[in-house]
Amino acid sequence: MPDRISDDLTKAIIEDNLIKFRHDAKNYDLLHPDIFNSREQHRLKRILSKAVSMVQNPSKLVLDLGADTGNVTSILLDMPHNKVVASDLSLEMLQKLKSKFKNCVEDRRLFLVCVNAEHLPFKKSRFGLVTMFSVVHHIPDYVKANEEIGFALAPGGVLFIDHEPSADVYGYSHIRETYYRFSIFLNSLYCKFHSIKGKNYKSRYADFYTSKDHQLVWSLVEDVNLRNNLRVQKKMTYLNYKTVYFNPLTIS
C-alpha cells in the first residue's frame, strides 16, 4: 500500500471523500472551473478520442471509474457505439449524473454502479476501455485499485488516467497561487444570484495524494500495470487551465 498508511487513515480518507462529495454533488460542475471550461474540455475530448482509437478489443463497454457528475462519461456517450458503466464511491454524485443523462440510462447506453475502486465487482476482461479522471489521488490504496482494473480490463484494452498532480508542480507554487486571486467577489455574486448557499467543505483527507508530503508514486502504478501486461503507450504533462470565476453555464 502507498506510504504504508494505517487502517484508521484508510477509513478516514474514504469517509472524508464521502462527506466532501455529498456536500459538493449539487454544484460540483460549478465548483470546478479547472475542469468545466472550453480549453480543458477541448483537450479532454481530443485525448479521449485518441485513447478510444488505441483500443484493440471489440468490446464497446467502457468503465468510467470515479465518474463524479459525468465529465468523461458525457464525452464517451457522444462517441458512436459506446456503452458506459459510470461508477463512483459517492451515491450523491451518481444521482446527479443520472439526472443529467436520464435518457442514456433509459436507453441502456449508461449504467450506474456505486463502488469502491479497491473492490471492483466486475468480471474478468469485461471492459475495452477504463478511464480515471481526477480519481487516483482520492484512493487510499491506489495500487490495489490498479490491480482490480487490470483484472477487469480486456486484452487489447486501454487504461486512461488523467488530471493528476505531477511531481513537477511542487516546485512552482507561485503558479497555483494565482488561480483564484480575483475570483472571490465574482463568485460570491454568482452564488447569491443563483441562491447557492453554504461554504466549501474543508476536507482534511479527501485529496490525500495532492500534497508534497503525500505524493502519488507513479512508479508503483506502472509496476502493477506491467504485472497486468499493460505497457505505457503515451505519457504527457500539461499545465492545467482554470478560469478565475464560475462559469454560469454550468449551473443547473
Instruction: Give the model's confidence band at 5: pLDDT under 50 very low, under 70 low, under 90 confident, else very high.
Output: confident
Cβ-based neighbour number of residue 157 at 10 Å = 24
| pLDDT at residue 249 tops 90 | no
Mean of pLDDT over the chain: 85
| pTM (2 d.p.) | 0.87
pLDDT at position 192, please? 64
Taking the alpha carbons at both ends of the chain, their separation in whole angstroms is 39
- Find the range with the poorest average confidence among 11-20, 118-127, 168-177: 168-177
Rounded Cα gap, residues 61 and 120, in angstroms: 15
Instruction: Give the model's confidence band at 202: pLDDT under 50 very low, under 70 low, under 90 confident, else very high.
Output: confident
Rounded Cα gap, residues 157 and 231, in angstroms: 11
Average pLDDT (144-173) is 86
Q: By percentage, how much of the chain surpasses pLDDT 90?
A: 62
pLDDT at position 169, please? 62
| pLDDT at residue 136 tops 80 | yes
Strand partners, 129: 62, 158
Instruction: Give the model's confidence band at 171: pLDDT under 50 very low, under 70 low, under 90 confident, else very high.
Output: low
Rounded Cα gap, residues 205 and 12, in angstroms: 7
**In the chain, where are the structural domains located?**
2-250
pLDDT at position 181, please? 41
pLDDT at position 248, please? 45
Average pLDDT (121-126) is 96
Phi and psi angles of residue 192, each rounded to the nearest 5 degrees, phi first: -70, -45
Rounded Cα gap, residues 156 and 31, in angstroms: 36
Which of the following CATH numbers is that of domain 2-250: 3.40.630.30, 3.40.50.150, 1.20.90.10, 2.60.260.20? 3.40.50.150
Q: What are 177-190's pLDDT values in tens digits?
A: 444 444 455 555 65
CA-nearest of 213, 135, 231, 126 to 170 is 213
pLDDT at position 165, please? 81
Q: What are 18-71's pLDDT values in tens digits?
A: 999 999 998 898 888 888 888 899 999 999 999 999 999 888 899 999 999 999
pLDDT at position 179, please? 41
pLDDT at position 185, please? 53
Query: Who has greater pLDDT, 76 or 235?
Result: 76
